[in-house]
């Protein structure tokens, strides 16, 4: 299970396989942080505030990778 919170919007993804991807869209009216949290199939939880989005960017593309140890970073 994967949950992404940004700009007051929550994107939820279930059953994302290892090595899989999930996409979604959002709009920001001001500067916002990107928070990613979830739970691996074995029940191990992870959470991290991992990004910063500003409203001046037009159609930004943000990529984040959840590693096997639960850390979150750039691809």
User: pTM for this one?
Assistant: 0.66
Which tens digit of pLDDT belongs to each residue from 30-75? 777 778 888 888 888 888 877 777 766 655 666 777 888 888 777 7
| Helix-strand-coil split of the chain, %, nearest 5 | 0, 40, 60
pLDDT band at 21 (very low <50, low <70, confident <90, very high): confident
Q: Under a CB-based contact definition with an 8 Å cutoff, are residues 33 and 26 in contact?
A: no
The sign of the CA dihedral 67, 55, 60, 5 is positive
Report the alpha-carbon distance of residue 51 to residue 34 in Å, rounded: 5
């Amino acid at each position: 299970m994967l949950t992404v919170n940004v700009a007051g919007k929550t994107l939820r993804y279930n059953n994302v396989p290892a090595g899989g991807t999930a996409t979604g869209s959002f709009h920001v009216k001001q500067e916002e942080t990107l928070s990613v949290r979830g739970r691996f199939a074995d029940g191990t939880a992870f959470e991290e505030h991992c990004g910063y989005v500003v409203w001046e960017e037009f159609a930004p593309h943000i990529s984040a990778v959840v590693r096997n140890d639960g850390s979150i970073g750039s691809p």
